[in-house]
Amino acid sequence: MASFGNFTHAIVRGIPASLVQEALRSSLCQVDLVKAQHQLQLHIGTLKDELGLQVVELPADESLPDCVFVEDCAVVCGDTALITRPGAPSRRKETKAMKSALQELNFKIVEMKDDTATLDGGDVLFTGREFFVGLSKRTNHRGIEILAGAFKDYPVSTLPVFEGLHLKSFCSMAGPDLIAFGSSEPAQKTLKILQQTGDHHYKTLILPDDAAANCVFMNLSGKGQVLLHCTPEEYPNSAKVFERLTDHLLFPVPNSEMSKVDGGLSCCSVLISKTGS
Ligand code: CIR
């Protein structure tokens, strides 16, 4: 637990032009590709230049319009990397490049081979003590069972996702034992269940906007507690809540273009702790 969020590496992937027309989405908003690429570069620059992480950049693949959303392809914890079987069939081939990158980094690879199982990393909330996994449009019971088998050292609880794409479309870790949650009714319903089922009592940070509750927490040596969060331009009321956090080094990161195709801030990286490497 002391080392929760102590990341050293990040895996990211470029944005293919095909994202604009072909990425899966729940809205009709038009993505500005140049702006999306600029926002991703700012995000990667924060990880690399501001925070000193070693960033592995996988190339975009035009045949995989959603490939920038790397979070969905792997769950990494300790020395194990679970390669998922994404819920959307059009996204399944994204895992190949992710598996190679994690093999290069010497992780013990577990593959979700059962073709009845589905799981997206966006449904996986790791608190440092336990896993909560969203049962959503993309993740099913069998996927969660395989995750529990891959990470036997931690309890795994299932949470319902009543609305939206993933569990982390409306929540994420914002600090040690601090969970950010959106304030919509469906998000609050899931929070109640989390509080009843979890092994531990967590503090909560409630954000006016569900999407803003998807932030990225790290606890880095030399930097302390770090939080990447929404910008005041995108979510002014939620940004104010983050700005009141005095224990964190705060980095507002723009995400307006990815959010048009249902991507949160956390979806653009797989964060890895390889201490001693
Ligand atoms: C999808 O629908 O699969 C993508 N357009 C968005 C995935 C976002 N993933 C995430 O936030 N973990």
pLDDT band at residue 268 under the 50/70/90 scheme: very high
**E-state strands within 112-263:** 124-126, 131-135, 156-160, 171-175, 178-182, 203-207, 216-220, 224-229, 249-252
Q: What is the pLDDT of residue 1?
A: 67
pLDDT in tens, 167-188: 999 999 999 999 999 999 999 9
Query: Does residue 277 sit within a domain?
Result: no
pLDDT class of 123 with cuts at 50, 70, 90: very high
Report how far ligand 1's centroid is from the alpha carbon of 12 (Å). Answer: 14
Q: Residue 43 catalytic?
A: no
- For 277, residues 6+ apart whose C-beta sits below 8 A from its C-beta are 8
Name the residue among 74, 70, 35, 121 with its Cα closest to residue 268: 70
| Half-sphere CA count of 92, side-chain side, radius 13 A | 12
Q: Distance from the CA of 262 to the center of ligand 1, in angstroms?
A: 5
Q: What are the structure tokens assigned to 183, written together?
A: 């304030």
Q: Identify whether 264 is part of a domain.
A: yes
Looking from the CA of residue 87, the nearest atom of ligand 1 is 3
- In angstroms, the CA 252 to CA 255 distance is 10
Average pLDDT on 52-59 reads 98
Q: What is the interface pTM, i.e. ipTM, of the complex? A: 0.98
The predicted-structure confidence for 6-46, as pLDDT tens digits, reads as follows 999 999 999 999 999 999 999 889 999 999 999 999 999 99
- Average pLDDT score over residue span 62-70: 98
In a domain, 3, yes or no: no
**Number of folded domains that form the chain:** 1
DSSP state of 153: T
pLDDT band, very low/low/confident/very high, at 199 (cuts 50, 70, 90): confident
What's the gap between Cα 16 and its chain centre? Answer: 20
**Residue 47 Cα distances to 5, 17, 50, 181, 236, angstroms:** 13, 23, 6, 23, 23
Averaged pLDDT, 44-59: 98
- Cβ–ligand 1 distance for 23 under 6 Å, the answer yes
Asked whether residue 123 is domain-assigned, the answer is yes
Confidence grade of residue 2 (pLDDT, cut at 50, 70, 90): low
Instruction: Report if residue 116 sits inside a domain.
Output: yes
| pLDDT confidence of residue 28 | 86
Please indicate whether residue 72, judged by its CB atom, sits closer than 6 Å to ligand 1.
yes
| Strand pairing report for 156-160 and 108-111 | unpaired
Which single residue is written with the structure tokens 């979070």? 71
Structure tokens at 12: 């990211």
Catalytic residue among 43, 166, 229, 248: 166
66 is in an annotated binding site: yes
Q: Whose CA is nearest to atom 2 of ligand 1?
A: 24
Cβ–ligand 1 contact at 164 (below 6 Å): no
User: Does position 276 have pLDDT exceeding 60, yes or no?
Assistant: no
**Which sign, positive or negative, has the C-alpha torsion 200, 167, 169, 192?**
negative
What does the CA dihedral 16, 218, 129, 106 come to, rounded to 10 degrees? 60
Average pLDDT over residues 153-173: 97
Q: Whole-angstrom Cα distance, residue 214 to residue 122?
A: 10
121 C-alpha to ligand 1 centroid (Å): 9
**Which of 67, 94, 262, when mutated, tests ligand 1's pocket best, judged by the most ligand atoms within 8 Å of its CB?**
262
Pocket test for ligand 1, best of 15, 125, 165 (most atoms within 8 A of CB): 165
Write the pLDDT tens digit of every residue in 82-107: 999 999 999 999 999 999 999 999 99
- How is residue 231 written in tokens? 């910008």
Answer yes or no: is 2 within a domain: no
Sign of the CA dihedral with 186 first, then 187, 189, and 194 last: positive
Atom of ligand 1 nearest to the CA of 23: 5
If one counts every other C-beta atom within 10 angstroms of the C-beta of residue 64, the result is 22
The overall average pLDDT reported for the chain is 96
Could you give phi then psi for residue 226, rounded to 5 degrees?
A: -125, 140
Distance separating the N- and C-terminal Cα atoms of the chain: 19
In a domain, 118, yes or no: yes
For residue 174, give the nearest of 221, 232, 218 by alpha carbon.
218
Token look-up 């705060």 returns: 250
pLDDT at residue 159, rounded to an integer: 98
**What is the CATH classification number for the domain harbouring 33?**
3.75.10.10
pTM score, whole prediction: 0.97
With a 6 Å cutoff on the Cβ, whether 189 touches ligand 1 is no
267 tagged catalytic: yes
pLDDT of 277: 44
The whole domain housing 208 covers 9-272
